[in-house]
Structure 1
Amino acid sequence: MSASALVQFVVFLLLTGLVGLITWLQCRRVKSSGDEVRDQFLAGGGLSWVFIAGSLTLTNISTDTLVGWNGNQMLLVLCWELAGVPGLILLAKVFVPLYYKYNCTTVTELLERRYGGNKHIRATVGGIFLLGSVLIFLPAMLYTSSLLMKSLFALDVPLVAIAAVTAIIGAAYSIGGGLRAVAVSDTWCGVLVFGMALLVAFLSLNATGWSLANVPPERLTLIGGPDSVLPWPTLLTGMIFTQLYYWSTNQTITQRILAAPNIREAQKGAYGAAAIRLLLVPPMVVIPGLCAWQLFGPLGDATYGRIVAHVLPAWLSGAFAAAMFAAVMSSYNSTLNSAASLYVCDLHRAYVNPTGGIGRLSTWLQVGFALFSIALVPFYAGAESIIQLIQQLLGLFSMPILAAFITGLLFRNVDARAVIATLVFGAASYALLSFGWPAWHQAGVVALKPPHFLHLMFVNLWLCVGFALVLNRLAFGRRAEFEWTAFSRSNLRAFFSTN
């Protein structure tokens, strides 16, 4: 390692250690609430809105976000990030009051309460979330972060070794301090991540002379045409529901909301995250990519790395590496903590032991999940197409799970078994719509070209709701009752109120 690289590495270690020190200082004097589950997974119910907003934001922002969106090199992808704003508002206005009304520890507990105390629907959805976290998200985060560290510092060590260091540091936050340490570290890491990412955006514009004259006009529009990667009508169909699923029914995200001392603090955290997403995230995810087109032309996934290397002074490389590591670590420790909470609350306490040492169980779970994710890193190395396929397969369950929430919230007298069956039906129907239809069209079996996948997700969502209601009536002899009170004047007034 050269002297310059050594200096960068020392800066990286100092900044990473500083975040750890600040987190420890802010968490060490916090008293236990007397409830092991709330202390470990909900920070004792004492997170302020600042830490909720910070943790919500940085759990969502990772290296994949910066590299992936900038790699598209177009303004249109900004719609994905801006759509998160109404998603967060719906979380604050609709789901936060519901989660607090039922005193939920996990998002799946809301399903259990709405379906007559049926623990199987909670365990089924919780199990799906858990498998996704352990088999996909945790090892994928370690893989991408390991590649980044290896390239930034020209490290001649195996990816697994770098992944192990990341996993150990992330697990230390989650195990040692629970969700409180995760949220506090996320917030301070967020300061570093946003500072460096916005600096890269500013320097990118400066490098182009504040001109994007060479960028094609179709890459500078927010209105997607029929053949674009994001046709504008999708914003009115599948887009809003993917955002609703992600921000309101995703345990890794929503767990921070459940850790507030009261509804108002939780809502303020969601609003704070929405403000960050509206004001700070957009320049980070599109400006470097557009500037790279202006300077170098189309680069694809290599865009962000190329523009960073071009505009960032060498003496800031260590700080940039610390920011990228912080982004990955924040997503990793958040997912690790939520995975443990899903197993403990949705599976272990329901089927194994309703009492017992939650702290020790959580520790061993997170150690096991971390080791397992490290072991899976070699299977991801060099297998980009497989990762993309797995991400597509995750879409098989997002709309069926959201349909379970929608059905449970809008209807009474629905048998949980009908909804569990709907999860299987929804996966099969989406597979036919998103994988079968394009293949049949390409083979000439079906003449009609398949619509955008977001339209298909919208169709699949309501197919699932309809299937659950029909099955509930025909197979279980129960007539679902629509809850008109959900649209009462008082509820609508409360939704649109600014209070």
Structure 2
Amino acid sequence: MQSLWFTLLSCVAFMVLVGYIAYRKTRGTTSGSDGYFLAGRGLSGGFIAGSLLLTNLSAEQLVGLNGQAFRTNLSNMAWEVTAGVAVVFMGLYLLPKYLNMSITTLPEFLSKRFDEGVRRYTVVLFMVGYVLVTIPSMLYSGALAVLKLFDVPSILNISYTQSIWVVIWGIGIIGAVYAIFGGLKAVAVSDTINGVGLLIVGALVPILGLIALGNGAFLDGVKTITTTNPEKLNAIGGPEDSVPFGTIFTGLIIANMFYWATNQYVIQRTLGAQSLKEGQKGVIFSGFFKLLIPIFMMVPGVIAFHLYGGDLKSVDLAYPTLVMNVLPSYLSGFFLAVLLGAVLSSYNSLLNSASTMFALDIYKPAMKKDATDEQLITASKWFGSVIAIVTFFVSPMLMYAPNGLWDLIRKFTGFFNIPIVAVVLIGISIKKGTGISRKSCDHFPRGGLLHDGMGHGTDLWTSA
């Protein structure tokens, strides 16, 4: 009990510190719609990079990727290392266009390039993905890690399923307060601080894991992991793996393009940059750190395989189990705070983005065109609250995913991310025409030209 209280108190102390710093940094900066939705367009490259990284590196990644490494091999690292291509494309090509148009949301960009119909369809696609899978997966993966670190069922004298519900609601309510009442800048500042902590913990876990695997000798652990079951270190996926090797050069890059270049909850930080230079700096810096992610988020899964074999009930328990066994007790509170910070970061970002799209892409253009800044922020907060409550009920259902959390997320998001990427690339690559002419399939003649209805044609292969 003393260890438990120490962990909880140190966790609360770190989270309070993060909250205090975020409050001091954002005090007086959330007035007006630009201040609330885009941090007053004053984010520096450091805050953008920190927020992008922690938004991406949530418990979903820690639990999901390590679970896949435990189950199969390192082929899922393709998701991380190919992100660099999308990041460079975003920073050098798309971001200048986004900032030049002074947009707040991606659907707003599509309304300028197409029409209001495309804008609404895109918002619906985003909302379905956010509410049914993306937000619930982050809450559920965070709950799994907390339950493995602490015996919540015994502490509260409730069942495992009830514990999942309790932890999800607890994490969700705290995160909703950040996102709904703090705005984008509060999210970005807290993300950056927690991101530093996550990098520290992320580096410690594989090191301590290899020491445990080598019975106290780090090099012996390295020898074991490279000579015993070496196929676990294979990064070239076969037909039976989640990421077959051939898909790296086709669909995988496009999927990463969606996440890093057209996903509202990611690009919203870059749209809040104080300048193009700062925005590009933040994007490229985050892309560099993505190349190191397999060390933090896949190698521990392989170590867990060597330590525990088939003793785990679920592949998604690989990382939490390893952390519980190798991390010193005096760091458990810090790890819990960082883990919750990572969960809250992604959750906050998604809620903030969903609320932003509702206020600016549905409420203002379709329901109240003359809405004031105060009315927009109020509508955003109410919608964010509704979305939060819905996801509290959806999240626990993910415990029934048959092949682990990571596979479920990737299969579902494929239904809506590729269409959005296609629409954005077409919108950027051709001149503006009428909405109907640019959406009609009968404007694709044999020569590969897309006509805009105004006598102009663009070679799709060349421009895209």
- TM-score clears 0.5: yes
Residue-by-residue CA offset, 1:36-77 (whole Å, 9 max, x unaligned): 221111001001110100111111111121122112223332
Corresponding residue for 1:138? 135
Amino acid at match of 1:398: N
Q: 2:381 aligns with which of 338, 358, 363?
A: 363
| 1:474–1:111 distance in 2 versus 1, CA, 3 Å | closer
| Local SS of the residue matching 1:222 | coil
**Cα distance between partner residues in 1 of 2:226 and 2:140:** 37
Residue-by-residue CA offset, 1:432-459 (whole Å, 9 max, x unaligned): xxxxxxxxxxxxxxxxxxxxxxxxxxxx
Q: 1:481 aligns with which of 426, 450, 457?
A: 457
Corresponding residue for 1:79? 78
Q: Larger deviation: 90-99 or 475-484? A: 475-484
Residue-by-residue CA offset, 1:236-263 (whole Å, 9 max, x unaligned): 1112111111100000101001000111
Shift of 1:469: 3.7
Shift of 1:232: 2.8
The answer to whether the 8 Å contact 1:130/1:343 transfers is no
Q: 2:235 aligns with which of 192, 200, 222?
A: 222
| Local SS of the residue matching 1:482 | strand
Q: 1:342 aligns with which of 357, 363, 367?
A: 357
Tell me how many residue pairs correspond in the alignment.
437
**Cα distance between partner residues in 1 of 2:445 and 2:183:** 43
**Cα distance between partner residues in 2 of 1:154 and 1:170:** 22
Corresponding residue for 1:393? 412
Corresponding residue for 1:456? none
- State yes or no: 1:269 paired with 2:282: yes
The answer to whether the 8 Å contact 1:413/1:481 transfers is no
- State yes or no: 1:47 paired with 2:65: no
**Cα distance between partner residues in 1 of 2:30 and 2:359:** 22
- State yes or no: 1:283 paired with 2:295: yes
| Local SS of the residue matching 2:274 | coil
Mark the runs of 5 or more structure 2 residues left unpaired by the alignment.
214-219
Shift of 1:126: 1.5
Amino acid at match of 1:205: L
Corresponding residue for 2:271? 258
Corresponding residue for 2:110? 111
Corresponding residue for 1:408? 427
| 1:305–1:166 distance in 2 versus 1, CA, 3 Å | closer
The answer to whether the 8 Å contact 1:414/1:480 transfers is no
**1:209-248 map, 5 Å:** 209=220, 210-211=222-223, 212-225=225-238, 227-248=240-261
**Cα distance between partner residues in 2 of 1:291 and 1:385:** 20
The answer to whether the 8 Å contact 1:70/1:285 transfers is yes
**Cα distance between partner residues in 2 of 1:132 and 1:29:** 33
| 1:376–1:468 distance in 2 versus 1, CA, 3 Å | farther
**Cα distance between partner residues in 2 of 1:372 and 1:396:** 21
Shift of 1:483: 6.4
The answer to whether the 8 Å contact 1:107/1:249 transfers is yes
Taking structure 2 as the reference length, the TM-score comes to 0.85
**Cα distance between partner residues in 1 of 2:142 and 2:329:** 20
Amino acid at match of 1:392: K
- State yes or no: 1:151 paired with 2:148: yes
**Cα distance between partner residues in 1 of 2:185 and 2:87:** 21
Corresponding residue for 1:60? 56
Corresponding residue for 2:196? 191
**Cα distance between partner residues in 2 of 1:399 and 1:314:** 44
| Local SS of the residue matching 1:268 | helix
**Cα distance between partner residues in 2 of 1:249 and 1:325:** 26
- State yes or no: 1:180 paired with 2:185: yes
| 1:54–1:479 distance in 2 versus 1, CA, 3 Å | same
| 1:468–1:113 distance in 2 versus 1, CA, 3 Å | same
- State yes or no: 1:310 paired with 2:325: yes
Residue-by-residue CA offset, 1:345-364 (whole Å, 9 max, x unaligned): 11111101122322222222
**Cα distance between partner residues in 2 of 1:267 and 1:476:** 31
Corresponding residue for 1:323? 338
| Local SS of the residue matching 1:256 | helix
Percent identity, please: 33
**Cα distance between partner residues in 2 of 1:185 and 1:154:** 28
Amino acid at match of 2:42: G
**Cα distance between partner residues in 1 of 2:333 and 2:442:** 54
Q: 1:202 aligns with which of 207, 225, 243?
A: 207
Taking structure 1 as the reference length, the TM-score comes to 0.80
Residue-by-residue CA offset, 1:387-436 (whole Å, 9 max, x unaligned): 76575233122111111112222233665447768xxxxxxxxxxxxxxx
The answer to whether the 8 Å contact 2:363/2:379 transfers is no
The answer to whether the 8 Å contact 1:127/1:343 transfers is no
The answer to whether the 8 Å contact 2:180/2:351 transfers is no
Corresponding residue for 1:101? 100
The answer to whether the 8 Å contact 1:408/1:414 transfers is no
The answer to whether the 8 Å contact 2:110/2:118 transfers is yes
Corresponding residue for 2:347? 332
Corresponding residue for 1:124? 121
| Local SS of the residue matching 1:255 | helix
Q: 1:38 aligns with which of 34, 45, 50?
A: 34
The answer to whether the 8 Å contact 2:165/2:396 transfers is yes
Residue-by-residue CA offset, 1:195-238 (whole Å, 9 max, x unaligned): 11211011112223332244433332333445544333322111
The answer to whether the 8 Å contact 2:138/2:347 transfers is yes
| 1:26–1:414 distance in 2 versus 1, CA, 3 Å | same
Residue-by-residue CA offset, 1:288-319 (whole Å, 9 max, x unaligned): 12222333346633321232223112332222
**Cα distance between partner residues in 2 of 1:293 and 1:379:** 26
**Cα distance between partner residues in 1 of 2:404 and 2:232:** 28
- State yes or no: 1:295 paired with 2:307: yes
Q: Larger deviation: 104-113 or 142-151? A: 142-151
Amino acid at match of 2:261: S
| 1:5–1:295 distance in 2 versus 1, CA, 3 Å | same
**Cα distance between partner residues in 2 of 1:44 and 1:315:** 39
| 1:217–1:268 distance in 2 versus 1, CA, 3 Å | same
Shift of 1:382: 4.0
Task: Name the structure, 1 or 2, with higher relative contact order (CA <8 Å, separation 6+).
Answer: 2
